[in-house]
Structure 1
Amino acid sequence: MRAAVVREYGEPLEIEERDRPTAPPDGVVVEVEACGICRSDWHAWQGHGDWVDDRVPRGQVLGHEPAGHVVDVGADVQTIAEGDRVAVPFCLGDGTCSYCHSGRGNVCPNGTALGFEADAPGAFAEFVAVPAADYNLVPLPESVSPTAMAALGCRYVTAFHALEHRAAIGAGEWLAVHGCGGVGLSAVQVARALGARVVAIDVREAPLAKARELGADATVDASTVEDTATAVREATDGGAHVAMDALGSRTTARDAIAGLRRAGRYLQVGLTGDDDHGEIPLPTDAIAGRELSILGARGMPPTRYDEVLSLVAGDRLDPGALVTREVPLDDVPERLAAMTDFETVGVEVVTEF
């Protein structure tokens, strides 16, 4: 099969021939019909994550936002059959630990991260193997296309998990989204579906225009204002109730915290790069004095995907609205490179393998 592989960090991915995977006893093989291209793939390609012992190995097949259909089923699988249309979460739990049993499989200590670990080759490929399929695989409703599911990928589900499960954002509350890439724009749409109001912040007009199209109540161009946090507080009548750093930098993190109202909740979703190496200094005295909460979010438990899919089925979320380009596998190296200088808008999806 054909696959996009990291050979050297920062060098173009190589399109290689690989052996087609076989299904483990508890798993399946999925023929990939669509796979989103995510900024987390860009971080992996750059070799980031060594500061938390999370750097992808050379030779890794990237891609972690796939949808497709099952073509091979392991002997121990009970609920999945050949031909089933499925989505594959990137946070793969083992299905047996206390975290998985309590609905927190996205942080399973024995789990794997699809496309980021040697024992979980990714889905920039014609086929992908999925372990613990009865626990991990998500049935895909007929009304949701593989391309739309790839757009849901890790972006929408991460945004939904962050806002609904972690921050418990309420109807009428203000969300400030700092960084309007894929996950940031997803957060705009998710927050609106949950009844919240949104101010979107970025330094580029194109994603800000997209945020307004998706329902943002206000936008702030951080490249044109003297103080971003002041602009956010003015737009939200005193500060956001919830702020999300959807990029992962000291600027967006500190601006997000500074723009919160008292007792606000800060969500860290974006991952840092070479400039910060996983460490961002935060205003701890202000956090204590204003009783701010700091929350992290990583993907979403496989067992809760039905919550997002029900919003899609009910036309309250439209992941297809974020898809700006469909590309063949051969274009993945170039599209990842375009992310270096933030030359992409919305979600790009591989649909030809």
Structure 2
Amino acid sequence: MRALRWHDEGDVRVDDVPKPEIQEPTDAVIEITATAICGSDLHLYDGFMPGMEEGDIIGHEPMGEVVEVGSAVETLSEGDRVVVPFTISCGACWYCDQQLYSLCDESNPNAEMASESMGHSPAGLFGFSHMLGGYDGGQAEYLRVPYADVGPIKVDSGLPDEKVLFLSDIFPTGYMAAENADIENGDTVAVWGCGPVGQFAIQSAEMLGAERVVAIDRERERLDMAREHSDAEVIDFESEDVYDRLMDVTDGHGPDGCIDAVGAEAHGAGPSSVADSGQDGEEMQGDRPYVLQEAVRCCRKGGTLSVPGVYTGEMNGFPTGSLMNKGLTVNTGQTHVQRYLDPLLERIEDGDIDPSFVVTHQESLEKAPEMYETFRDKNDGCVKVMLNP
């Protein structure tokens, strides 16, 4: 089969590889009809994620048709149309029982490697480094799905792939980000980053009762998308001061909730970004603190900081003193996707949201290397790339 493989920083290629097979009785194999490039994939592409090995198949936003099931699989049959969440979860450990699926105790075969770095291991993830399992990813023609009774959700309606594909990651991720912001009716919420996760965080914040959502970015296409597909106000951080504007719209209090939908490869404006760029060049830190610094500064006293943006290592310059003295609550984590699949599919089927609005580019799998570059560099107005194997 054809699959996109990581060879080195900035080097991904579509290669011929063996088709996956059932390895455990709880496995299924799907033929992929649609997949996508995620902002988190860029952390691999740009060399920010430890644990990558040459030849790894990447990608973690797949859907398709079940072509084979293991002998112990009870909920899926050949021919079922499914969306596969990026988190791999056993469904039986203590964390899965608490619906903390991205913290599954059993699904990462390389848990010891992750524990050495983090203290404990989170769940295994599709296509996302050997530290998190080394599982083959979904930017391919076929995918082996472990714990198939726990992950995939069947889509029985005739909705096109582009309306349901993003249940695999970015729609639940944006929704959990908004949920983690502890939104109450009438709140003001600020969202840093208007990429795909940010777009869904904006819409989810409105669904959860935010009266005012302010979206922050510097890319015109992303700011326009936030403005056109929601009621968000927008800030271009390169043309105006974010803190001053947020204080102005909140009568000096600051937003009730602040969402960092950017993560490790954040860009900043001003002297601090110049200093941190120098540190990056000397390999003094892996993650960039610009968004977190600004969000902590802007958030109202006693407010909540939600961090769905993926961070991969350590950083200098995190404002711990401000965080503590302002009494902020911080909620983070990879998304517990399985928790959200049924209710969010229902919202799509009811017409409350059409997730396909984020797709700006749709191409064949063979064009994936080219589209990684387009997506990373935000060329041609690129916000989200959907691939069709």
What is the TM-score of this pair, normalised by structure 1?
0.91
**Cα RMSD, aligned residues only:** 1.8
Question: How far, CA to CA, are the matches of 1:284 and 1:187 in structure 2?
Answer: 25
Partner of 2:150: 135
Q: Out of 349, 362, 366, which is 1:326 matched to?
A: 362
What does residue 139 of structure 2 align with? 124
Gaps of 5+ in 2: 108-123, 267-288
Counterpart of 2:321 (choices 271, 279, 285) is 285
Q: Secondary structure at the match of 1:340?
A: helix
Distance in 2 of aligned mates of 1:283 and 1:117: 29
Equivalent residue, structure 2, for 1:268:
307
Q: Secondary structure at the match of 2:56?
A: coil
Distance 1:56 1:110, change over 3 A: farther
In the TM superposition, what whole-angstrom CA distance separates every residue of 1:185-229 from its partner, at most 9, and x where no partner exists? Answer: 12112222222231000112221111001214311110011x312
TM-score, normalization: structure 2? Answer: 0.83
**1:280, distance to aligned residue in structure 2 (A):** 4.6
For residue 76 of structure 2, give the secondary structure of its aligned residue in structure 1: coil
CA contact (8 A) 2:375 2:382 kept: no
- Is 1:346 the counterpart of 2:345? The answer is no
Residue 273 of structure 2 corresponds to: none
CA contact (8 A) 1:31 1:69 kept: yes
In the alignment, which of 246, 249, 255 is matched to residue 235 of structure 1?
Answer: 249
Aligned with residue 336 of structure 2, among 296, 300, 319:
300
- 1:237-293 Cα shifts (integer Å, max 9, x gaps): 4311111111123211111121211111111222347xxx53253222222222111
Relative to structure 1, the CA distance from residue 280 to residue 143 in structure 2 (aligned partners, 3 Å threshold; closer, same or farther) is: farther
Structure 1 residue runs of 5 or longer lacking an equivalent are none
| Matched position secondary structure for 1:86 | strand
SS in structure 1 at match of 2:309: coil
Question: How far apart, in 1, do the equivalents of 2:316 and 2:86 lie?
Answer: 26
Of the two structures, which has the highest relative contact order with CA contacts closer than 8 Å and spacing of 6 or more? 1
User: One-letter code of the match for 1:193?
Assistant: M
Larger CA deviation: 134-143 vs 315-324: 134-143
CA–CA separation in structure 1 for the residues paired with 2:293 and 2:231: 21
Query: Equivalents in 2 of 1:123, 1:254: separation in Å?
Result: 34
Aligned to 2:81: 85
Report if the CA contact (8 A) 1:241-1:265 is conserved.
yes
Counterpart code for 1:349: M
Q: Which residue of 1 aligns with 2:160?
A: 145
In 2: Cα distance, 1:92 partner to 1:306 partner: 17
| Aligned-pair CA distance for 1:143 | 4.6
What SS does structure 1 have at the residue aligned with 2:290? helix
The answer (yes or no) to whether the contact 2:58–2:137 under 8 Å persists in 1 is yes
What's 2:91 paired with?
95
The residue type equivalent to 2:301 in the other structure is R
d(CA) in 2 for partners of 1:304 and 1:183? 15
Contact 2:169 2:337 in 1 (8 A): no
SS at match of 1:262: coil
Work out whether residues 185 and 346 of structure 1, in 8 Å CA contact, stay in contact via their aligned partners in 2. Answer: no
Give the drift of 1:98.
Answer: 0.5
Cα deviation for residue 301 of structure 1 reads 3.5
Deviating beyond 4 angstroms after TM superposition, the runs of 4 or more aligned structure 1 residues are none
Q: Partner of 2:345 in structure 1?
A: 309
Matches within 5 A, 1:175-190: 175-190=189-204
Q: Aligned pair 1:168/2:167, yes or no? A: no
Which of 103, 126, 138 lines up with 1:114 in the alignment?
Answer: 126
SS of residue matched to 1:232: helix
The equivalent residue for 1:224 is: 239
Partners of 2:206 and 2:161 lie apart in 1 by 24
Matches within 5 A, 1:10-159: 10-11=10-11, 13-23=12-22, 24-50=24-50, 55-111=51-107, 112-117=124-129, 119-159=134-174
SS in 2 for 1:240: coil
Equivalent position to 2:205, from 186, 191, 204? 191
How many pairs align?
A: 342
Q: Distance in 2 between matches of 1:280 and 1:98?
A: 34
1:151–1:322 contact (8 Å) kept in structure 2: no
Percent identity between the two aligned chains: 30
State the distance in 2 between where 1:234 and 1:312 align.
Answer: 35
Separation in structure 1 between the aligned mates of residue 297 and residue 158 of structure 2, nearest angstrom: 41
